[in-house]
Amino acid sequence: MPNPYYSGPISDHFDGERFFLPGRTRDKSRNDLLRWRFGRHHRAAWPTSFPAGPPDRPPQRVEGAALRVSHVGHASFLIQTQGVNLLVDPVWAERASPLSFAGPKRVNPPGIALDDLPPLDAILLSHNHYDHLDAATLAKLARARPCPALTPLGNDTILRKIDKAIVARAFDWGEVAEIGPLRVHFEPAQHWSARGLRDRRMALWCAFVIETPAGKIYHIADTGYGDGALFRDLFVRHGSMRLAIIPIGAYEPRWFMRDQHIDPEEAVRIFQDIDADHAIGHHWGTFRLTDEAIDEPPRRLAIALERAGIAQERFRASRPGDVFEAP
Of 71, 17, 40, residue with least CA distance to 201: 17
214-228: per-residue pLDDT in tens?
Answer: 999 999 999 999 999
Confidence (pLDDT) at 100: 83
278-305: per-residue pLDDT in tens?
Answer: 999 999 999 999 999 999 999 999 999 9
Confidence (pLDDT) at 209: 98
The answer on pLDDT for 89 being more than 70 is yes
Confidence (pLDDT) at 42: 76
Of the pLDDT bands very low, low, confident and very high (cuts 50, 70, 90), residue 39 is low
> Comparing 31-45, 109-123, 246-260, which segment has the lowest mean pLDDT?
31-45
**What 8-state DSSP symbol labels residue 114?**
G
Of the pLDDT bands very low, low, confident and very high (cuts 50, 70, 90), residue 40 is low
The residues that bridge with 149 in the sheet, in sequence order, are: 123, 168
Of the pLDDT bands very low, low, confident and very high (cuts 50, 70, 90), residue 72 is very high
First-to-last CA distance in the chain? 51
Confidence (pLDDT) at 30: 72
Q: How far apart are CA 285 and CA 320, in angstroms?
A: 9
Of the pLDDT bands very low, low, confident and very high (cuts 50, 70, 90), residue 272 is very high
The answer on pLDDT for 262 being more than 90 is yes
**What 8-state DSSP symbol labels residue 95?**
B
Of the pLDDT bands very low, low, confident and very high (cuts 50, 70, 90), residue 37 is confident
Q: How far apart are CA 26 and CA 58, in angstroms?
A: 42
In our burial notation (b when 16+ CB lie closer than 10 A, e otherwise), range 299-320 reads ebbeebbeeeeeeeeebbbbbb
Q: Which fold has domain 61-325?
A: Metallo-beta-lactamase; Chain A (3.60.15)
Higher pLDDT, 10 or 26: 10
- What letter represents residue 109's amino acid? P
Mean pLDDT of 149-167: 97
Q: How far apart are CA 82 and CA 167, in angstroms?
A: 23
CA–CA distance from 41 to each of 36, 169, 290, 293 (Å)?
A: 8, 43, 12, 13
Chain mean pLDDT for the chain: 95
The answer on pLDDT for 25 being more than 80 is no
Residue 278's φ and ψ, nearest 5 degrees, are: -140, 160
Q: How far apart are CA 168 and CA 179, in angstroms?
A: 14
CA–CA distance from 326 to each of 45, 166, 222 (Å)?
A: 35, 32, 23
CA–CA distance from 149 to each of 124, 247, 250, 312 (Å)?
A: 6, 22, 26, 34
Higher pLDDT, 210 or 42: 210
Q: How far apart are CA 268 and CA 130, in angstroms?
A: 26
**What 8-state DSSP symbol labels residue 56?**
P
